[in-house]
Amino acid sequence: MTTQFKRDICILCIAVFSSFFMGLWSGSVLRTEQRIHALAHALRTEHARHTTCTCAAQNSSCLNVSPAQAEKRFARANIDESDKVTYHNYHVMYGPALAPYLQKPVRLLEIGVEDGKSLKLWQQLFPNHVFIAGIGYGAGTAVHTAFKRDLTDKHVLYTGSQVDSNFLARILKDVRGKKFDIIIDDGSHIPWHQLFTLEHLFDKFLEDGGVYIIEDIETSYWDAPSASIFGYPIANAGVGKQGNLVEKLKGVADTLNRGVLLDPSFSILRGNVDHLMSHITFSQNCVIIHKKIPDVWKEAEHNTVQNYHFPAAMDSTRQDYLQYKSSSNWEINGMIRT
């Protein structure tokens, strides 16, 4: 127990006793209880402020939890046995990417609630979280039909589809435009849904320096006429077939290097959200994407051409690129672009 924490406990005890006697004095035990809750809340907030680091997520000096420790904590936090750990082993694939956030007053959004097991996992894993929201939809979900349910002052469930742009806009309004540090898409797993949601959320919902994780990309490989999940058919899947999420996101490797390709405006994602990406990591059955911190990237972006160009290869680079760009069809059939 830290000295700071012990001090907070002492202050809380004094506050509790003095509030209680003040409450008796005024004859209102009810008001006293409210006062105690308010004081306890204020102290918890103050304690969180002292125990969290405030530096940007990409600054390695705030990594007071190592990637290996983060992976272990992820597994331990899974008290309700969500299949994230027991079946998918996602603690291994993206646990390390969450290391910078474990002590932070994090804001997290997860698409796909089902029976709420993973939402409990996040509450355990991020003890200093300030807001955890889930998007639930369809059969088996713990979410009722109302647009929003407040479970506590920092745990919220929204009901609607991840491919309903009006619903997503309504959430943004509800959170007053306040962005999330972490977004996890564990919803329908339909490749075009995953893409639609990424294109809709990456800019407006994700903090600079934040991380966006897409789980269950196995569906991009399910090349069979009968392939389906959660009652939706899966179209255009198959390795090398340009029409699924994995093939589409492979192209981001090139748009990240658009400076070297001499085409600074090259983008394959709606709203140019690939221009906002700093890293894209493919792992087993998931993709992990980090968002740039503009100030950190300003200079690096401008240096691409002069630093990384090989003059003798200029013409062939341009030729290869133009051929590649004109022969590629990156659209996903069934993608609603409204």
Ligand X SMILES: C[S@@+](CC[C@H](N)C(=O)[O-])C[C@H]1O[C@@H](n2cnc3c(N)ncnc32)[C@H](O)[C@@H]1O
What are the structure tokens assigned to 255, written together?
Answer: 């748009």
What are the structure tokens assigned to 147, written together?
Answer: 């647009």
285 binds ligand X (CB under 6 A): no
187 binds ligand X (CB under 6 A): yes
Q: How far is the CB of 261 from ligand X (least distance, A)?
A: 35
> Of residues 316-335, which lie at the interface with ligand X (CB under 6 A)?
none
Among 8, 186, 254, 274, interactor with ligand X by CB under 6 A: 186
SS (H, E, C) 250-318: HCHHHHCCCCCCCCCCCCCCHHHHHHHEEEEEEECCEEEEEECCHHHHHHHHHCHHHHHCCHHHHHHHH
Nearer to ligand X, 187 or 209 (CB): 187
What are the structure tokens assigned to 211, written together?
Answer: 């991380």
Q: How far is the CB of 196 from ligand X (least distance, A)?
A: 10
Nearer to ligand X, 107 or 292 (CB): 107
Nearer to ligand X, 180 or 321 (CB): 180
8 binds ligand X (CB under 6 A): no
140 binds ligand X (CB under 6 A): yes
| Identity of the residue numbered 8 | D
219 binds ligand X (CB under 6 A): no
Nearer to ligand X, 114 or 181 (CB): 114
52 binds ligand X (CB under 6 A): no
Backbone angles phi, psi at 285, to 5 degrees: 60, 25
111 binds ligand X (CB under 6 A): yes
114 binds ligand X (CB under 6 A): yes
Q: How far is the CB of 208 from ligand X (least distance, A)?
A: 25
- Give me the 234-253 binding string for ligand X, x by CB under 6 A, dash otherwise: --------------------
Contact 305, 259 (CB under 8 A): yes
| Identity of the residue numbered 177 | G
Q: Quote the crossing angle between the two packed helices 67-76 and 117-125, to the nearest 10°.
A: 130
Q: Cβ of 252: how many Cβ atoms within 10 Å?
A: 20
What is d(CA 54, CA 57) in angstroms, rounded to the nearest whole number? 9
Summarize as ranges the residues that interact with ligand X (CB under 6 A). 82, 84, 110-114, 117-118, 135, 137-141, 161-163, 186-188, 193, 230
